[in-house]
Amino acid sequence: MSLRLGDIAPNFTADTTQGPIDFHQWIGDSWALLFSHPADFTPVCTTELGKTALLNGEFAKRNVKPIAVSVDDLASHNKWIPDIEEVNNVKMNFPIIADEEKKVATLYDMIHPNASEKATVRSVFIIGPDKKIKLTLTYPASTGRNFTEILRVIDSLQLTANYQVATPADWKHGEDVIIVPAVSTEDAKTKFPKGFEIIKPYLRKTPQPNL
């Protein structure tokens, strides 16, 4: 069964490179980035996990905990980590889940038989502190993820969770946002004291409200 936006992220217990976890307890009051990689000791995955480690400060600034998963075992993960650290000149600073029984992969529908019967596709789940799924992305095994885009999406999700705004195409942190149609123009005068521009009756732009 496919998971949909707004669904509660399935809970699980698992061994990781940083010790055993209960997923929901591990998330706590943070956001979580759960992402799968097809296999250890593969070139694209080595760059992806390294990039995530390099962005540790950016994730921490946003109260986001990254965690990776593949269907390899803990011994394999631990043997691979020195390669990740050497290739990317970084220390691994987030856990990798050992999922050799494919429990997590099955819960999160990470194995797509037409792509591979054995390995997970490059799935991304962003999960809020309420344990609900806020975003899903699926890449083929051959394509590495854009972690700058993942950070951009997190910025949008966190902003729009707290204000009655949406973010336009190609939006980046610091740029103008869109007032949602549910807010009347009259109410917008109070809710958005920085002012706003009416481009169309249904398209009103205002400076990012949390800056």
Q: What is the pLDDT of residues 10-63, one digit of tens each?
A: 999 999 999 999 999 999 999 999 999 988 999 999 999 999 999 999 999 999
CA distance linking residue 138 with residue 42, whole number of Å: 18
Q: Where do the domains of the chain lie?
A: 13-145, 163-206
What is the per-residue pLDDT across 116-172, written as a single tens digit (0 to 9) for each?
A: 555 666 899 999 999 999 999 988 888 999 999 999 999 999 999 999 999 999 999
Beta bridge partners of 69: 36, 97
Whats the size of the chain, residue-wise?
211
Catalytic pick from 14, 27, 33, 45?
A: 45
CATH architecture of the region 13-145: 3-Layer(aba) Sandwich (3.40)
Beta bridge partners, 96, equal 68
Give the residue-averaged pLDDT of 198-207.
Answer: 96
Quote the pTM value: 0.92
In this predicted structure, the answer to whether residue 78 has a pLDDT above a threshold of 60 is yes
> 58 catalytic, yes or no?
no
Domain 163-206 is classified in which CATH homologous superfamily? Answer: Antioxidant, Horf6; Chain A, domain2 (3.30.1020.10)
pLDDT given for residue 141 in this prediction: 80
Cα–Cα distance, 6 to 137 (Å, whole number): 14
